[in-house]
Chains A and B, each alone.
Chain A
């Protein structure tokens, strides 16, 4: 399919990719029509000082990270037992699954007002919105993983003397691990993409909240900067998930090169 091994090392490719984006960005910033969305690269990054001077920059990052981590963590802790119960007990599955599929396709922004009515404004509704979104996607993923455990592995364990408990702890749990890591990957990216919706609940700080408020004051430089920061956070999380994958599921047959 692709030619094997061009002699250019990966780091150089990365640099080339980065430069290409910079050139494109610069071109967009010179075009009159797109210049207002894409201010000059240097001006954009210089806006960081403005935001720091206003005393909101680190505040925003910190606030968003707290909401995202808390929402993700609660979503993860809830999704594990629910997914396992769904996979093991058909009545549980039949009752819960349709609703998970139903709610999963509703954009979080749509139910934010309902959350605010009950939970008020502040940190609480932000965490609730992110928890709902991450819980749904991770439950579906882990549930599929438990269902997909190779039946012959369970049989093999049984004929070697495994009890139900052994099968759960020593076969199903490790066999599901790759799906749990996929769930973490999908859940963390969902947590970030839900950020804007979550912080539209009357938040006082946060990357998503700030982007909306900068929009109202037509400050596109820091707005673009904030968007890029969300992207960078996403990339760092992905790196971490890759690390988990290598560390814990290196035994898998299929791995991307």
Chain B
């Protein structure tokens, strides 16, 4: 293998040789630069190959023929090889990206670029502390040179601010080095590490100075104003190097210093790192400039890795896996985003909407923010999982909480940004796409996915990128060029085929969910045939959601469960975002969902107690005092998906604004994921007490309040789809309540709601969507009298509302009947009162739904409307049949589950004798009810038809109206604010307290961030003062502690 020394030699040599070229020979100079960079990459890649494939031992490189104490030595190991490859690759790609600039500025700029890359490689390779200082200075000088590549004139002052701080850093570093040398007698890092009993004490000011100087290069909060200014003003290709390569090199330098200082110094690294992570993410919230925002994010991510460096004592042999995963995810994503930012003309975040003309670049952007947010299947996800597991295992809960909080903030602004891209108006300037600028972006995307695969392989868990459902979903990315109907057919076929292949593997409980997902999903997909064109972005997102759902019910261990949870969250987010006005709602959805996901992560991490594998079934083995906390975390996480009251504010907008065929998917199917989670949780953990409070009782209250308030909010809603969305909150409340009853019938009722809610809510959403498509509005009071024009939609709605309301003879009654039997066997009383109240309220919104849309007065502008499109009607009719079948024969679905539940709740099952279903308290015969009702109803109806066979149809306005005839439907259609008396009586209960609470919280965060970022007043001298103050304060905090 070529010696690693040649990395430095090649760069130096090329830079030196560039000086001899005439200024006119720019193409040659550029070629020479690229050649040198390619060669450097070749060496690094070769070493990576040697270490990974051959498993070679690290190699020491001696200079001037002496062993370490007497001469500088370098080392090439796996870490060094990987990091130099990262540095060299970002250098090469940025050089490619900078082609125009470098050719315009000439050979000197190329030499500076080469020196910068060389210096960063040197920082990584060297094992000599003073040599490290030299490379630091080289890197600083080269950085200051490269900042000037920017066309932005403000970069000049940013560079000077950097120089000031760099000077201060070098002073501290030198003092630290010389006294450390004095204490140990060597400049060799490994030598210092061996000899440094004194440095390891934690009180050594010499080591402190060295360490703080290196940390200062990592832009710790608040001594990082200079870095932000650089990020904002420098050329994006340089920022890519500065963020990806410099960050990696300096982090490795910090790691080397920690190697010297030892475990006593770890808390310092963690402390600085985590403060930086949280603070930078917080301050990023009010940012509007894209590059400055990325700068904040860079600083935050570097801080996170620094915190991880400080946790190496507990990370053990997973240290490199975790730190590397976070570092590579950050570096690649950040470099990619900076390169992307060079393609965008405007500097405001909404200007990125220009990307919309290029689906490929959107995919790249998604890849990058998914990597930054630590979503599967990228390295950051695996690293985050391991980190959480080990932190929780060691009881470092506060640190874990801070990390997750910071990560949530970061995901918040990243996804908000993505919302701008998808939803904001496209600016006039198009994306400037030249091949040499596109190539680095593509390379970063490829590298991201490749590392995702690699990290999956190393994770010790199942590699997510080998999971069939996920691969199936991802394959739709490659099929985007096909027309929508072909993709739709493929999706349906794939899901059904997967079900046919796997249905034997599920237990009866999971079977219900799998049928809803894998058979219910395709039924809703029938409605998607209505869409024409290619429908770019729809199928990958939808299939990602379904893949997540499928993997969720198939998961056995906590890792698989959590990964599936994140996938379905992200997939559904993309789906929801597709709605016309859903930008803010999709954002609140993803924030709530990720917040919930982090709780689940923390819960599982706590539960695992450091064990690498944790089966879901082992949740049952947890004991006090840990168990209730795990229970709370997991339950809260799952309830963000079931939209329990308090965590519900995302749902109405997200479901209401979604596309016609998306609403039933995210309502009828996606909400069940939360219920499934709760089922798994309650099935394993059962009842838990915390400070004497029975937690399932708390769940009961939450479920009951969700049912009541969800229903109440639904009746005051003018928008048909939002009304249905609020109704979902209520319905999920019932289901949560049933589960929390913790008895046989309660669970059966929850499952009944799972099935029923899927059928009727999908049906109603499709129906409302179809009507909205025809009328062009979702406001119900603008409709009216559509029954004759859209009879099939009407029938679907009619059957749907009868089923939802729980009136016999349809299946909703079965749910209510089981509910009453379930609460009879429970000893909890008060929450039932609330549910009793909630029940009849459903009539109000249901009647309103059907009355204001289909009955009443037809509007003039709707007189020529047609029935909803065939493909939207078809699934509704299937649902009608399903509902009727399920109403007459609930045993088809429930009987096996009933038996299955016996192993958890042996008592209180149902008897299924013939067509009668009986419990300990009562009985119910769906067939007899259906026949009786139909006979009475049918004979009366037939009689009326017969009597009035000659009657004429009345004209629309020919009604008795105080002796006059109205001529305008608008004034006669009593629809707007339909339940005004109810609002007068009980309106106080639906004041938006929860919305106000959450928006108050986000406003507070924003205001705090906006206030504190004024710390960075732009004055270089202030920044120098920040730095000095930072050092002093940290020192006193550190020694004081």
Partners in one complex: no
Taking Cβ atoms with an 8 Å cutoff, the residues of A that contact B are: none
